């Protein structure tokens, strides 16, 4: 056993350490002056000093910046506390697979050293500064160690765990007793009892696990398919009556694959198809933000890869909902991580995984509300590109082989699916340790690279990803129409000791399942082997419509596919809806609205997210046309992202999103309508049009067994139908995450109803794109659309401590006409800049356009077209009415612009100036605001300049 320490030379700045110092200061501990990080490698081997030298010098330590030592006491040992150096060593828990260990093993082998049996890594933090015991414990607890995956090393040397053994024995269970353990409902337990009674035998554990996975909320969306009673009305399947119905009624020929595959697919340009999916990874991210978010990205990337015959992932989107980062530490419930730590961890997880996969992260949003404290929401989306003819889902033939490709199977994420469908409690973070895993993006990257080669050689007939529910869901679903036999002992394992059931339901990452015609299997296996990707035949498809599982020579499961996939009893639920009444705001309109504007710009929801965006690679793949940050200094907030997915073609794909949970507190119907309008506005603002826009829905809701909460869901889903029908924007895929609530000291905290709408548009000619930054002094500023007295749920009211009741509504007929006209104006080159009005309304939009363009603006509220009489300046300036845009028009284009926009309510409200300030005059012609661009921008950038 050898222990190697690698550390930076004294004079080298330690970037990791500096980041930690900032984090420690954020905790309110200011006495720490520096942190140095030491990398530790444990080698299970007996090596000579020469060999160890070689490993250190040529592999583990950088000769220019680092030093090393081995088999010596720590260079900085604990007794150094005399000069205030505190040393903490952190290692991964047994069972957590650290990707670095695999790399080091390979690299040591490359050096020609083959006698190393195993490698473990650890990290030692040397913290400089006067600290007492509790402070050190706080640093460990809040920053260095997550007990879910790590521990502080107190005993040396680190023990390499013994290889555990598994002895086969078939486990049969009594359904009556086991029902609760598997979270089956009474109806489900009854159905299962009847099924096995007919067979005259008891179910095995793996059979019940399979049913539990397949019938989980996460996999079958029981609530969305439930029979819901709302007042006197009965809705037989919400999803079929709203989201799916509108797509069917619209019947767009460019919808190639909807609601039937891992992602929805549309025709891009006649030769290529785009597929799009957004998933959530909420619960795992709440307890281990880094790993949870990383596996969230890894999971959603495999959705396009497992759509049709496999799409190349070309763009990622991320939307996060957290509690405010300034939430007081002392108010944090036990077992809950601080929002700042969750935010930083999630960001790092998404970046480390997404960047390594080489997929640009080009779109997203970050929202804050205290009710996300224990239940952060992590939405990850991936866009994929594939030849159009490969977009329909593949079909296997009986006799085709089941091939498992990619990562090995461990005890990772067991029961992740059922976990995702449950309420979190204070104990969740300890009880659910096995639900979290560390992803290995390079394994996934290798799978993507090789799978797409296999696709292009047509070496398989069908593909799906191994996600929630593991093999159970993936193979179970694939085999539904034919039948399948799986030999569980053939699945490659990370370590021994897994039972057949664990193998079947493990959610280990980076795995895909293929159906492979036998005559193509040797070429396929060879292709994967060439790039060191593990691919193994684990079974074959049959024609008996049964799921049969084997372990060694024993049959351990045998289920009828029809029962597995259609035997679940429909759930019945009650829904009610009572419109809430919030106190009406009762404050006077301030004479000067500058302070309010600065306040909104620096609110967590509105402020710049540049800190996040820059840590994601948004340029990889070389396709970006409109980036997330735009303007004179590349730091203004772009509305939607545009890429050219096919290098050499001018056709663009536009990705946008809409979300505003605050409106849902007043009415989830208008929240959903607003989210759709917002996503579409962004597409129009960058120069897109409505002719080919597809939508995705992601509902994150509380406990839908509560009738009021379910009633809110029904209202939101209905708005989706109503709006999409008029805009003619079909839904192509979606996902829901329910039961997002947290029990704390006997009180249930439910998340706000949250609906994320993601939109995907196609743009024929990307050279028509416009950005939101002002470009030319003396240009005219037009407001397009009608302003209503709609401050309900607005950032302005929030700033003043109110929610209000006048939530922004949508008139989709009018909105559609506005958007169509504006698209036309842009395509004719009549629009120099365009920005949609959302949080903070006109005030925020004009500020952002001004400081992004580095140009001033002079604006009058008097000409703003109003839909109802409004007498207050603040209401006009900060109303969040939907379907509105600010447009910069060159004076010489004004006549043409007005001509094209005929029939749409609009008005010139001012002009771009070459000054360095924003000046706004109110309804009575009085100056109500003068602020310098510098101050506006500073207010907007400061909060998240971490």
Partner 1 sequence: MVKVKTLILRAPGTNCDQETAYAFQQAGAATSLVHVNQLIRREEHLFSYQILVVPGGFTYGDDISAGKVLANELRLKLGEDIRGFVDRGGLVLGICNGLQVLVKAGILPGIDSGKEPKITLAANDSGRFECRWVYLRVNEESPCLFTQGISRLYLPVANGEGKVVADSETLARLNVVLSYTDEDGNTSPGYPYNPSGSVADIAGICDSSGRIFALMPHPERHLRGTQHPRWTREGAKEHGDGFQIFLNAVNWAKKSL
Give the interface with partner 1 as residue ranges (CB under 8 A): 12-13, 15-16, 18-19, 57-60, 62-65, 99-100, 103-104, 106-107, 110-112, 351, 355-358, 440-442, 445-446, 449, 530-532, 613-627, 629-632, 634, 644, 647-648, 766-767, 769-771, 773, 775, 853
Between 112 and 869, CB nearer to partner 1: 112
- 763 burial via Cβ count (<10 Å: 0-12, 13-18, 19+): buried
Contacts with 727 (C-beta within 8 Å, 6 or more apart), sequence order: 676, 680, 690, 693, 812, 815, 816
Read off φ and ψ for residue 55, nearest 5 degrees. -60, -45
Among 86, 218, 415, 618, the active-site one is 218
CB 359 within 8 Å of CB 313: yes
Task: Give, as one character, the DSSP assignment of residue 706.
Answer: S
What is d(CA 455, CA 459) in angstroms, rounded to the nearest whole number?
6
Of 706, 704, 679, 710, nearest to 694 (Cα)? 679
652-658 and 641-643: which strand pairing? antiparallel
Q: How far is the CB of 360 from partner 1 (least distance, A)?
A: 9
Q: How far is the CB of 15 from partner 1 (least distance, A)?
A: 4
Q: Which two tokens stand for residue 260?
A: 């039937």
Between 632 and 917, CB nearer to partner 1: 632
Q: How far is the CB of 633 from partner 1 (least distance, A)?
A: 9
Between 68 and 701, CB nearer to partner 1: 68
Q: How far is the CB of 865 from partner 1 (least distance, A)?
A: 27
Between 54 and 725, CB nearer to partner 1: 54
Q: Which two tokens stand for residue 828?
A: 């004719």
Between 445 and 490, CB nearer to partner 1: 445
- For residue 381, the tally of other CB atoms under 10 A from its CB is 30
Between 43 and 226, CB nearer to partner 1: 43
810: three-class secondary structure by DSSP: coil
Contacts with 831 (C-beta within 8 Å, 6 or more apart), sequence order: 687, 770, 822, 825, 887, 888, 889, 897
Between 445 and 872, CB nearer to partner 1: 445
Q: How far is the CB of 10 from partner 1 (least distance, A)?
A: 14
Provide the b/e sequence for 30-59 (b: ≥16 CB within 10 Å): eebeebbbbbbbbbbbebeeebbebbbeeb
Between 370 and 532, CB nearer to partner 1: 532
What is d(CA 482, CA 547) in angstroms, rounded to the nearest whole number?
9
- For residue 216, the tally of other CB atoms under 10 A from its CB is 26
Contacts with 705 (C-beta within 8 Å, 6 or more apart), sequence order: 573
CB 897 within 8 Å of CB 828: no
Catalytic residue list contains 753:
no
Between 305 and 920, CB nearer to partner 1: 305
- For residue 398, the tally of other CB atoms under 10 A from its CB is 12
| C-alpha of 628 from chain center | 17
What sign does the dihedral 68-70-73-74 (CA atoms) show?
positive
- For residue 371, the tally of other CB atoms under 10 A from its CB is 18
Among 86, 281, 415, 565, the active-site one is 281
CB 347 within 8 Å of CB 297: no
Catalytic residue list contains 25:
no
Between 14 and 426, CB nearer to partner 1: 14
851: three-class secondary structure by DSSP: helix
Q: How far is the CB of 201 from partner 1 (least distance, A)?
A: 47
3-state helix, strand, coil in the chain (%, to 5): 35, 25, 40
Q: How far apart are the first and last CA of the chain?
A: 41
Q: How far is the CB of 7 from partner 1 (least distance, A)?
A: 13
What is d(CA 328, CA 347) in angstroms, rounded to the nearest whole number?
21
Q: How far is the CB of 488 from partner 1 (least distance, A)?
A: 28
Between 831 and 906, CB nearer to partner 1: 831
What is d(CA 47, CA 53) in angstroms, rounded to the nearest whole number?
10
Q: How far is the CB of 699 from partner 1 (least distance, A)?
A: 31
Q: How far is the CB of 771 from partner 1 (least distance, A)?
A: 4
The DSSP-derived string for 438-505 is ---HHHHHHHHHHHHHHHHTT--SEEEE--TTHHHHHHHHHGGGT-EEEEGGGS-BSSS---HHHHHH
Q: How far is the CB of 442 from partner 1 (least distance, A)?
A: 4
- For residue 285, the tally of other CB atoms under 10 A from its CB is 30
What is d(CA 367, CA 347) in angstroms, rounded to the nearest whole number?
13
> Alpha carbon of 863 to those of 215, 260, 414, 918: distances in Å?
57, 49, 61, 17
Q: How far is the CB of 446 from partner 1 (least distance, A)?
A: 5
CB 475 within 8 Å of CB 514: no
Looking at 89-225, list the stretches that DSSP marks H as alpha helix, in order from N- to C-terminal side: 99-110, 133-139, 175-178, 186-199, 205-214, 217-220, 222-225
CB 684 within 8 Å of CB 822: yes
The DSSP-derived string for 540-556 is EE-SS-EEEEEETTEEE
Q: How far is the CB of 110 from partner 1 (least distance, A)?
A: 6
**Catalytic positions, please?**
218, 281
């Amino acid at each position: 056993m050898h222990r190697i320490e690698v550390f930076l030379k004294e004079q080298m700045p330690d970037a990791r350490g500096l980041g930690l110092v900032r984090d420690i200061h954020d905790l309110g501990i200011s006495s720490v002056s520096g942190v140095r990080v030491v990398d530790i490698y444990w080698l299970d081997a007996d090596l000579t000093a020469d060999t160890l030298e070689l490993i250190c010098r040529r592999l583990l330590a950088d000769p220019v910046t680092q030093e090393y030592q081995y088999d010596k006491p720590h260079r900085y040992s604990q007794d150094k506390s005399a000069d205030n150096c505190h040393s903490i060593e952190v290692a991964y828990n047994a069972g957590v697979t650290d990707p670095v260990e695999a790399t080091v093993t390979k690299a040591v082998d490359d050096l020609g050293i083959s006698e190393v049996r195993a490698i473990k890594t650890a990290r030692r933090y040397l913290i400089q500064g006067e600290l007492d015991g509790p402070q050190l414990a706080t640093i460990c607890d809040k920053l260095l160690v997550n007990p879910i995956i790590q521990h502080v090393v107190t005993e040396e040397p680190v023990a390499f765990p013994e290889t555990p053994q598994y002895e086969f024995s078939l486990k049969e269970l009594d359904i009556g007793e086991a029902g609760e353990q598997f979270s089956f409902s009474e109806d489900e337990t009854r159905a299962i009892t009847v099924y096995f009674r007919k067979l005259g035998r008891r179910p095995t554990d793996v059979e019940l696990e399979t049913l539990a996975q397949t019938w989980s909320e996460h996999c079958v969306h029981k609530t969305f398919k439930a029979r819901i009673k709302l007042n006197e009305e009965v809705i037989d399947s919400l999803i079929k009556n709203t989201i799916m119905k509108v797509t069917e009624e619209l019947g767009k020929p460019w919808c190639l694959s909807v609601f039937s595959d891992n992602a929805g697919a549309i025709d891009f340009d006649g030769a290529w198809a785009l597929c799009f999916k957004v998933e959530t990874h909420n619960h795992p991210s709440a307890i281990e933000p880094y790993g949870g978010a990383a596996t969230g990205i890894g999971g959603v990337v495999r959705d396009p890869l497992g759509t049709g015959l496999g799409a190349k992932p070309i763009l990622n989107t991320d939307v996060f909902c957290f509690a405010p980062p300034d939430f007081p530490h002392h108010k944090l419930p036990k077992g809950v991580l601080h929002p700042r730590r969750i935010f930083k961890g999630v960001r790092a997880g998404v970046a480390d995984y997404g960047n390594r996969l080489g997929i640009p992260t080009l779109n997203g949003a970050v929202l804050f509300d205290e009710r996300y404290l224990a239940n952060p929401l992590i939405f990850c989306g991936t866009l994929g590109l594939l030849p159009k003819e490969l977009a329909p889902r593949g079909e296997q033939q009986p006799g085709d082989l089941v091939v498992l490709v990619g990562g090995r199977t461990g005890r990772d994420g067991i029961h992740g699916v059922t976990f995702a469908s449950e309420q979190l409690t204070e104990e969740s973070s300890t009880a659910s340790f096995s639900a979290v895993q560390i992803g290995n993006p390079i394994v996934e990257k290798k799978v993507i690279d090789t799978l797409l080669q296999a696709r292009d050689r047509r070496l398989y007939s069908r593909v799906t990803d191994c996600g929630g529910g593991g093999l159970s869901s993936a193979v179970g679903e694939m085999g539904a129409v034919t039948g399948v036999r799986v030999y569980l002992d053939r699945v490659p394992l990370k370590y021994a000791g897994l039972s057949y059931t664990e193998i079947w339901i493990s959610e280990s990452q980076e795995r895909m399942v293929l159906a492979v015609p036998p005559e193509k299997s040797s070429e396929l296996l060879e292709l994967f082997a060439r790039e060191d990707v593990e691919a193994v035949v684990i079974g074959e498809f049959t024609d008996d419509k049964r799921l049969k599982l084997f372990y060694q020579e024993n049959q351990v499961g045998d289920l009828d596919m029809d029962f597995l996939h259609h035997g679940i009893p429909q759930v019945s639920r009650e829904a009610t809806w009572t419109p809430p009444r919030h106190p009406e705001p009762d404050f006077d309109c301030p004479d000067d609205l500058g302070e309010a504007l600065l306040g909104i710009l620096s609110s967590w929801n509105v402020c710049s997210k540049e800190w996040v965006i820059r840590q994601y690679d948004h340029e990889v793949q070389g396709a970006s046309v409109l980036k997330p940050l735009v303007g004179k200094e590349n730091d203004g907030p772009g509305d939607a992202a545009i890429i050219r997915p096919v290098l050499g073609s001018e056709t663009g794909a536009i990705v946008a999103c809409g979300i505003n949970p605050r409106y849902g507190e007043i009415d989830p119907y208008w929240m959903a309508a607003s989210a759709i309008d917002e996503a579409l506005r962004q597409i129009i603002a960058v120069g897109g049009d409505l002719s080919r826009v597809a939508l995705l829905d992601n509902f994150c809701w509380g406990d839908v067994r509560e009738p009021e909460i379910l009633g809110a869901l029904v209202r939101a889903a209905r708005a989706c139908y109503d709006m999409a029908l008029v805009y003619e924007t079909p839904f192509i895929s979606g996902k829901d995450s329910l039961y997002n609530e947290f029990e704390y000291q006997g009180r249930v905290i439910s998340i706000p109803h949250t609906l994320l709408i993601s939109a995907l548009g196609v743009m024929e000619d990307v050279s028509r794109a416009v950005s939101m930054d002002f470009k030319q002094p003396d240009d005219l500023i037009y407001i397009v659309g009608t302003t209503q007295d709609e401050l309900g749920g607005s950032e302005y009211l929030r700033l003043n401590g109110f929610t209000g009741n006048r939530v922004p509504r949508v008139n989709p007929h009018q909105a559609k006409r506005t958007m169509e006209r504006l698209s036309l104006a842009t395509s004719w080159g009549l629009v120099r800049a365009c920005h949609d009005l959302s949080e903070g309304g006109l005030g925020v939009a004009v500020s952002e356009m001004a400081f992004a363009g580095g140009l001033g603006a002079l604006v009058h509220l008097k000409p703003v077209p109003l839909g109802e009489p409004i007498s207050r300046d603040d209401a006009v300036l900060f109303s969040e009415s939907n379907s509105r845009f600010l447009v910069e028009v060159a004076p010489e284009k004004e006549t043409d612009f007005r001509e094209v926009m005929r029939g749409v309510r609009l008005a010139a409200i001012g002009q771009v100036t070459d000054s360095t300030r924003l000046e706004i005059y109110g309804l009575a012609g009085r100056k109500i605001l003068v602020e310098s661009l510098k101050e506006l921008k500073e207010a907007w950038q400061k909060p998240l300049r971490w």
